[in-house]
Amino acid sequence: MQMIIIMVFMAAAFLVQMLFGYLQLRHFTKAYTTMRRIGKVAIGKRPGKIRAGTIVFFAVTDSGRILKAQKMQGVTVLAKFRDLKGFTDKNIKNLQEKDMAHCNKLVRLAILDAVHNYKVIMSGGVIPEKHSLYKRMITKAESLATSKK
- Computed on alpha carbons and rounded to an integer, the radius of gyration of the chain in Å comes to 20
The whole-angstrom separation of Cα 73 and Cα 54 is: 4
Weakest-pLDDT range from 75-79, 105-109, 118-122: 75-79
Whether pTM > 0.85 for this model: the answer is no
Instruction: Examine the pLDDT at 7 and tell me if it is beyond 90.
Output: yes
Inter-CA distances, 16 with 20, 52, 76, 89, 107, Å: 6, 21, 13, 41, 28
**Integer CA distances (angstroms), 133 to 46, 109, 137, in order:** 15, 20, 6
The residues with which 57 forms a beta bridge, in sequence order, are: 43, 70
Query: Which residues, at least 6 apart from 106, have a Cβ–Cβ distance to it below 8 Å?
Result: 46, 48, 51, 52, 53, 54, 73
Helix residue ranges, H only, the chain = 2-38, 105-122, 133-147
Please check the confidence at residue 78 and state whether its pLDDT lies above 80. no
Asked if residue 79 has pLDDT above 90, the reply is: no
What is the average per-residue pLDDT within 58-70?
93
Q: Which of 3.40.50, 1.10.3470, 3.90.1010, 2.60.40 would CATH assign to domain 2-127?
A: 3.90.1010
C-alpha to C-alpha distance for 127 and 13, rounded to whole angstroms: 36
Q: What is the pLDDT of residue 50?
A: 76
pLDDT above 90: residue 114:
yes
pLDDT digits (tens, 9 = 90+) for 11-36: 999 999 899 889 988 999 999 999 99
The model's confidence at residue 149, banded by pLDDT at 50, 70 and 90, is: low
Q: Is the pLDDT of residue 132 over 80?
A: no
- Using DSSP bridges, classify how beta strands 66-74 and 81-83 pair: parallel, antiparallel or unpaired: antiparallel
